[in-house]
Amino acid sequence: MNAREAIRDLVAEYGHLIDEDRLEDWLGLFAEDCTYVVIARENVEQKLPLPLLSCDNKRMLRDRVASYRDVNEYNLHSDRHVIGGVRFRDESEGAWRIDASYSLFQTDVEGATRLFLVGCYEMGGVFEAGQPRLKAVRVIVDTASIPTLLATPI
């Protein structure tokens, strides 16, 4: 399998693992040395660095998933990511970089499905033992007014 296919697989897996609430497996997509940032599009366009959420390394990301497992007893919902075609930006040997637009839908316990967020993933990564791993994920969300607490990863 070539590099592009492996990266497409990673992007698809990223969305499915969150949707399946397999957040520990989702963590496994990241390299040990990684960043994960959620930022409003407005701030990106105005070059304001303030993110909605920022994890500077995998330990922080792991803590976040663990605390979500411990405390989350409200805002019960299921997620559904529909991710558009991958735009390849850098495909050099050691590193890669892609963009992919996403739509994220949530369904609550009453069974009401609604559009939650749209935006764009900017993902940078490396290959470790032939497998792509995420090094720098920036999740751009098109709105700064996120309707509910940012509980699960995007």
Q: Which residues bind a second copy (CB under 8 A)?
A: 4-5, 8-9, 11-13, 15-16, 19, 41-42, 78, 80-88, 99-103, 105, 107, 110-115, 117-120, 142-145
- Kindly give the residue spans of alpha helices, DSSP state H, lying in 20-145: 23-27, 41-45, 58-71
CB of 72 to a second copy, least distance (A): 16
Other CB atoms within 10 A of residue 145 CB: 6
In terms of CB distance, is 36 or 102 closer to a second copy? 102
Token digits for 104? 């994220």
CB 96 within 8 A of CB 87: no
In terms of CB distance, is 45 or 73 closer to a second copy? 45
In terms of CB distance, is 54 or 101 closer to a second copy? 101
CB of 118 to a second copy, least distance (A): 4
CA atoms within 13 A on the CB side of 116: 22
In terms of CB distance, is 53 or 60 closer to a second copy? 53
Burial label for 85, CB within 10 Å (0-12, 13-18, 19+), is exposed
CB of 57 to a second copy, least distance (A): 27
